[in-house]
Amino acid sequence: MLEIDLIPLVKNTISASIKCNTLRGYIGWTSCNNICMDMHDCLDMCEKTFATGKYLIVLEAATYILLSGVKLALCADSSSGMLTDVIMRTYELIGRCTKEIAKLDKQTRDMALGMLIKEAKKKVFDGWINWRYDLLKHGICLCDDKNAYRLEKTLDGFLAVIEEDYFPEYKKKEDMIARYLLHRHLNGIENTRDELYEHIYINELRIIAINDAIEEGNFKEAEKLCIEKLNKDDNQRYHMNDPEDWNNILYDIYVAAGDTDKQIEQARKLLLFGNEKFWEILKHIYKKAGTWEEKYPELLDELKSSKKSVCYRSVLIAENEKQRLLDDVIEKPYDLFHYGKYLVMNYPEQIYSLCYKEIIDNCAQARDRREYKKVTKQISQLIKWNGGNTARKLIAELKQTYPRRPALIEELEKVERKLG
């Protein structure tokens, strides 16, 4: 394939895929996924062309894929999340293209910037403001003192119609972030610090200020900015898997500062919030300090008291604390068949007894064949755990208790045949 053929090939592939997967004007869940797979194929072709250095051609193809994806989000069932993956991958490719083009001659840079501005103005982005501004942000690295006005003018145009928007405050926030990043690119960090702190209430800009402070070795400032936000949002939920959660950021600040005491304090807090990865972090820190044996039981007791049962049990499994796990499962027998597999070899009678009660209770609430199958699936699991005698007693009791439920009797007899 010649690199110059990339754009018509991408356009034809996506157009044919959308046509093939549209039924009476509707694109369902499976059809949307089919189109997304074809879009990923197009992105693979773009990657091959990128490797040859044809960045402008790849940028044009990638922006076409992006717009196709945004249009698809308006009319298709994209609930699988696959379309979001396509769009994120496309932005990543656009970002790599613009960074490479930023190293080229002014004419090429101006062409690329013009392309992004033209695409960002299209109405398809009216319902996806963040995606529109994300596209423009990728154009910032292409700006210089002479062409930056084009981007500012575009931002002015979007801001002029802000009152027509459903969420004007959100749009204002996106505008401020884009303008700050542009000014920072043109004028440098020091010359735009006042502008940054003027809008420090915007989360994205506060994170930039924190990262700047860390880079400069000003860890007290980074800590202050983070704690200010935490104190303001003390009712905010902790998102353990989000690296930009303020509690996670605060821990990272202490790591960067090399402050072991504050690392421990924050790590314990996050562990007790239910983030089990901080168990291993604390273990490493305490072992290095030679205090792990002393801290271990204390930390386990704290974790149990935190009521974060999933985290507590995961730690117990990792530490092979089977007696503690059994005690907790007896106390709160939820997800019994998940945790039972870790315990049945050591405590078979206790697990069989718990399963017996659980299955009896589940069957009492079951009302149709689908629910009866769930019950018999649990009995089958009991048999796999060498609990055949318990299974026989269960089946006999359930048959006697519910003789007028033929569907249940039928499902029980299927399991009974496995017992021989």
- Mapping DSSP onto H, E and C, the string for 54-94 reads CHHHHHHHHHHHHHHHHHHHHHECCCCCHHHHHHHHHHHHH
Three-class DSSP category at 26: strand
Query: What average pLDDT does the segment 328-355 reach?
Result: 96
At 38 the pLDDT is 97
At 166 the pLDDT is 67
Using alpha carbons, select from 70, 67, 122, 60 the residue that is nearest to residue 97.
60
Q: What angle is formed at CA 366 by the lines to CA 362 and CA 368, rounded to 5 degrees? A: 150
Between CA 343 and CA 336 the distance in angstroms is: 10
Matching residue, tokens 């994806």: 69
pLDDT in tens, 245-286: 999 999 999 999 999 999 999 999 999 999 999 999 999 999
Matching residue, tokens 């869940």: 29
Between CA 54 and CA 60 the distance in angstroms is: 10
pLDDT in tens, 37-48: 999 999 999 999
Domain boundaries, the chain: 200-258, 324-419
Cα dist from 64 to 7, 28, 56, 72, 79, whole Å: 9, 22, 13, 12, 22
- Confidence (pTM): 0.87
At 2 the pLDDT is 44
Residue 115 has pLDDT above 80, yes or no: yes
Q: What angle is formed at CA 259 by the lines to CA 255 and CA 260, rounded to 5 degrees? A: 90
At 165 the pLDDT is 66
Give the type of residue at 300: L
Mean pLDDT of the chain: 95
pLDDT in tens, 160-194: 887 666 668 888 999 999 999 999 999 999 999 99
**pLDDT band for position 24 (cuts 50, 70, 90):** confident
pLDDT in tens, 381-396: 999 999 999 999 999 9
At 1 the pLDDT is 42
Using alpha carbons, select from 223, 228, 216, 219 the residue that is nearest to residue 190.
216
Residue 3 has pLDDT above 50, yes or no: no
Question: Which string of DSSP letters, residue by residue, matches 302-355?
Answer: HHHHTT-HHHHHHHHHHTT-HHHHHHHHHHS-TTHHHHHHHHTTT-HHHHHHHH
Two tokens at 196? 């940054």
Which sign, positive or negative, has the C-alpha torsion 246, 247, 252, 254? positive
pLDDT in tens, 35-75: 999 999 999 999 999 999 999 999 999 999 999 999 999 88
